[in-house]
Amino acid sequence: MQRIRLRYTKRGRLRFTSHRDFQRAFERALRRSAVPMAYSAGFTPHPKVSYANAAPTGVASEAEYLEIGLADFRDPAALRALLDESLPIGLDIIDAVEVHTPNFVERLEASEWQIRLDGVEPAEAARAAEKFLAAEEVEVSRQTKNGLRVFDARGAVAALELAEAQVGDGNDTGTESAADVRQGGPCAILRLVVRHATPAVRPDDVLSGLRVTADLAPPVPAEVTRLAQGPLDEETGTVTDPLALDRAAAPTGR
């Protein structure tokens, strides 16, 4: 059995798709593309597909991961293109590697997020981030299925800062495309790196912490995008490529 790891995105309006919505769309893409899936044993066989650490509904992402098992060999690049054509625009397969190493989920140590705060001045957001990082502990609460839970949002944060393009330039939104720039009001964009821990600390928990420590309350809901997830470089506070080990271990000449 050949195993392939895929990286996919949730962009634009497709960020509102739930994880279950994506599963259904991906299963349809597998059928349309006639992918030779391997199946589990038992009375009700299922295609061998496993997902890793999916982003919450309403959050955009450039770095979601899944793994599939194939009954026959396929070229990962050709398979990526085929599946991408069978998915709606916004749910995009952007990378594929053959599995050559174990313990992939353990490599997803941290996530890098972009938090867009419309209506907030960059200098105000930078000051709030400094106050958050200066605190030894920031208690926030979140409603769960087991009731209200109180936990520390500070300990899991490896980095929190104004996006690099905004530093020293309050008029730059830090986005990659001019089409993303919205005229008529201030906008701050924060870069956040959070370790994957228990309990999981999400970007909305950090936003609650900014409200607690610095009274930062954006006038409109924040737009959140996961930019990366993978191994954490503690020295630089950056998240690296979790597929790099599989690429490095791939046999040559294939």
The reported pLDDT for the residue numbered 167 is 61
The residues near 247 (Cβ < 8 Å, ≥ 6 apart) are: 97
Cα angle, residue 189 at apex, residues 139 and 109 outer, rounded to 5°: 55
Is residue 92 predicted with pLDDT exceeding 50? yes
Instruction: Give the mean pLDDT of the chain.
Output: 91
Of residues 130 and 173, which shows the higher confidence score?
130
What are the pLDDT digits (tens) for 104-132? Answer: 999 999 999 999 999 999 999 999 999 99
| 215-235: burial string, b at 16+ Cβ within 10 Å, e else | ebebeeebbbbbbbbbbbeee
Is residue 69 predicted with pLDDT exceeding 70? yes
What average pLDDT does range 178-199 have in this prediction? 80
Under 8 Å between Cβ of 190 and 163: yes
Under 8 Å between Cβ of 149 and 138: no
| pTM score of the predicted model | 0.89
Confidence of residue 171 (pLDDT cuts 50, 70, 90): very low
The reported pLDDT for the residue numbered 254 is 56
Diameter over CA atoms, the chain: 62
